[in-house]
Amino acid sequence: YPDIDIAGSAAEAIATQTAGVVYIACPPLWHREHAIAAMDAGKAVYCEKPLA
């Protein structure tokens, strides 16, 4: 898959201009941080588990 962009961090993935949606599948400890960063960047967010 030579045309697939691979991000080295969540911040890099969120900052990409080609994605309008962020799927959060990390450990629940990081859900809040990543979800807020994605929403601040104007992305739609789908979180694997509810925030607790």
User: How many separate domains does the chain show?
Assistant: 1
- List, for residues 1-44, the tens digit of each pLDDT value: 788 888 889 899 899 888 899 998 888 888 899 999 999 999 99
Return the number of other C-beta atoms located less than 10 Å from residue 35's C-beta.
17
In a domain, 29, yes or no: yes
End-to-end Cα separation, the chain, in angstroms: 36
38: exposed, middle or buried (C-beta count within 10 Å: 0-12, 13-18, 19+)? buried
- Domain span at residue 31? 20-52
pLDDT at 7: 87
In a domain, 24, yes or no: yes
In a domain, 4, yes or no: no
In a domain, 41, yes or no: yes
In a domain, 27, yes or no: yes
pLDDT at 25: 87
Is 90 exceeded by the pLDDT of residue 49? no
